[in-house]
Structure 1
C-alpha cells in the first residue's frame, strides 16, 4: 500500500504502464512514459522513497478488497511513519491550508499542487509533489507536507477556465503553513461556445476514461463534423483525434459577435505522435473558414499510443481571432491532422467582456 504519493513524479494525473487486467502489482518509483521523459540525475542527487505497507489478507474478492481499503485509510492517516529514522525523512510535518478565490467566487473543486519553486511537475522527478482539491468554498488542506520552500499551482476541474494559477514562493515549517486567501484573477471573458469542460482530462468524450486498450485509438473516425448547439460532446466528439483527416466544428455568430472578434482556446489533455522518423514532422493545423490559423505541434508524450484515454501532458493553445477572420452566420473551424494524436480537454471560443 503506498501510504503517500509525494515521492512519485508527475502530479495527481500521472499515469504509467502499471495498470493490468491480471494480478500484477507494479510499484514504479520513476519512469519515462506518459510525457515524463528521461531524467539525468546529478551526481549528488538523493531522494527518499517509501516506506510502503504490505498487507496480506484472505476472504472473498469483495471481502479482501473492502478490508484492504479500510486498512489503507487507517495507515495513510499515520503518515509520516514515526518509526522511520532518517535525515531525509522528516517526521515532524504539518498541513498547508488556505482558500483559493477565483475572481469574486471561490475556486470550487480546483486541483491544488505543491512543489518546489520552478519545479516542472510533469518532467522533473528530483523532489516531492503534494496535492489536494478545494471544497465548495475554495478551502484546501494539503496534509503532511515536508518542510521547505514551495509554490502552489492550481487548475479548475470543470467550467471554462483553461489557465493555471501559480502562487508566489512560500515557506512551510514543521507545523505547516496557512496561506490564507490566494487571489486568482478570473479571465474577463464570455464563452460563445465550448466542447467539453476544462479539467485537464478527456473523460467526458467518447471512449474518454475507458479501460486501457489499444482498440480505442482505432475506433475514432478520420473525419467528423460537430455542430455547436446540436451535437453532444459525449456522443459526437471523441477523446482523441488519432488519424489523418479533418475534424470540423460548425458554429454560428451574430453580426455583433462577428464584429467583436474573439479568441479560440484549444486545451489538450495530451499530445502524441507515432514512433520513428516518419512521424518527425507530425502535427495538426487549425483553420478557420478555410484559412490557416496556426500549427499544433508539441513534444511526443506517448500517452495515446500507450492506451491513455484520460490525460498526459497538458497544453493550451490560444489564437486571437479578428472580425475579418469571422463571418456573421455560419463559421467552420477545422482541425486538420497530419500524423499527430491529439488528446482533447476542451475547445472553446471566447470574447472579452
Structure 2
C-alpha cells in the first residue's frame, strides 16, 4: 500500500518557490510543513506582535492511499500517486471547503505580463526573461518573499519569451517579485498590485535591470540560487544511500568530511581560465577537522589582468546559496601591505543548516565588495575567501555565483564603433 501526502497548491506555505522543507521523519512519519524554518533559519520565524490580528488558511492537503494488484510493484504506486497529484492540482482551488476564508475560483483574480532583462554589458537589446520565476507576495523589498511567512504567495514560471500568467490569486495587495535563472539579483515591481475578485490585471512589459557595475572579467558558477553546478564528491561507501549515488549526489550523509579527505595537504587553488568549477570547486565551503577541533578553510582564486584602471573601481560579487553561522573574510592580493592589499569581513550570517541536512541550497545571500584599481596589478592577482567561524563541522556556506567586474569605463561595446 502507498501512503502519499499531496499538496495541490503552495500558496499557503512560507518562503516561496525555493523554500526547501522536510517531508518525512524516521518512524516512518510523513510531514507537511506549513511554517517550517528548515534550510532558512530564524529569518523566517513567524512573529506575531502583541495585539496583532493574524489569520491564515493552511491547506487543504490531500492524503492519498493506493495499492497495486501486483504485490511489491512500487513503481506502479509511484506513477499512480503522481497522476493523482496532477489531478488534485487541476482541481485547485477546491470547491468543497465551506469556510468563508477560503475563496473559490470565482472569487480570485489573475495577473499577467512579460518580464525583460536589461543588461547593456550583455546585450544592446532587452532580453526576454525566459523561465523566470514570477510571483506575488506581501509588499516588501526585493527578495523579501524568501523569508515571508504571514501571507500567501502565488508563483509561476515565465515562458521562453518572458510572458507569465499568475492565476487563482486571492484578493489582496501584493508586490510582484521575480528572479531569472542565469541572471544575478532580484526583481520587484515597485507599484503595489491590488487583486480583486474576478479581476484580470495585465501589467504589460516589465524591465529588470540586474545588479551590475561594469563588464564581467571572470565568473565562477551559474547564478541559479543553488550550488548544484559545483563539484559534489562521491559519498564514503559506509554512508552510501543507493537512491542518490548518481542523481542528486548531495543527498548523502557525511560529504562535509570528504573535503579534508580529498585535500589533505591544504586548500586547493582555483585558477581562472584553467580550473573547472564542476571539478575544482567543492560544492560547500566547510571547515577542516584537525585533531579534536576544526579550523577555517580558504578558497583562493588566481586570475590575470592584461590591464588595470588604477583610478577605477572593480566590483567583486559573491552570491551564496546557503549559509550556517558564517563570517567571510575576503583578501585581495594578500590583504597586507603589498600594493596596499585590502581585506573585507562580513558580519555573521546564516542559520539554514543546509550542509547538515544534505541540501544544495537554503537562504540566498549576496555581497558586493568594491576594489580600488590600484590594489590590483597587471598580470597575476589573487582573491582569497576564508570562512572564519570553525567550531563545528556544519558551519560554512555554499556558493551560488562569483563575479569580478571591471570599472564601467573600461568596457567598450564590440558591436558599436569607436
TM-score, normalised with respect to structure 1: 0.90
Q: Do structure 1's residue 210 and structure 2's residue 235 form an aligned pair?
A: no
Distance in 2 between the 1:332 and 1:211 partners? 29
SS of the aligned residue for 1:262 comes to strand
Counterpart residue number, 1:278: none
Query: In the alignment, is the contact (CA less than 8 A) between 2:313 and 2:372 conserved in 1?
Result: yes
SS of the aligned residue for 2:206 comes to strand
Q: How far off is 1:63 after superposition? A: 1.0
Distance in 1 between the 2:224 and 2:167 partners? 23
1:255-309 Cα offsets, whole Å, 9 max, x none, are: 1567754210000111112xxxxxxxx5221001011431133433232343243
After the TM superposition, which residues 13-162 of structure 1 pair with which residues of structure 2 at under 5 Å, given as runs?
13-18=18-23, 24-37=29-42, 38-42=45-49, 43=51, 44-59=53-68, 60-91=73-104, 92-103=107-118, 104-118=126-140, 120-158=144-182, 161-162=183-184
Q: How far off is 1:182 after superposition? A: 0.9
Query: Over the residues paired in the alignment, what is the CA RMSD in angstroms?
Result: 2.2
Distance in 1 between the 2:41 and 2:328 partners? 22
Counterpart residue number, 1:193: 218
Query: In the alignment, is the contact (CA less than 8 A) between 2:354 and 2:360 conserved in 1?
Result: no
Q: How many residues align?
A: 343
Further displaced range: 111-120 or 283-292: 111-120
Q: CA, structure 1 residues 178+23, in 2 after alignment: closer, same or farther (shift >3 Å)?
A: farther
Q: Higher RCO, 1 or 2 (CA under 8 Å, sep at least 6)? A: 1
Q: CA, structure 1 residues 306+347, in 2 after alignment: closer, same or farther (shift >3 Å)?
A: same
SS of the aligned residue for 1:55 comes to strand
Q: CA, structure 1 residues 257+112, in 2 after alignment: closer, same or farther (shift >3 Å)?
A: farther
Q: CA, structure 1 residues 50+330, in 2 after alignment: closer, same or farther (shift >3 Å)?
A: same
Counterpart residue number, 2:189: 167
Query: In the alignment, is the contact (CA less than 8 A) between 2:115 and 2:163 conserved in 1?
Result: yes
Query: In the alignment, is the contact (CA less than 8 A) between 2:298 and 2:384 conserved in 1?
Result: yes
Distance in 2 between the 1:29 and 1:7 partners? 7
Counterpart residue number, 1:266: 318
Distance in 2 between the 1:246 and 1:211 partners? 21
Counterpart residue number, 1:323: 373
TM-score, normalised with respect to structure 2: 0.77
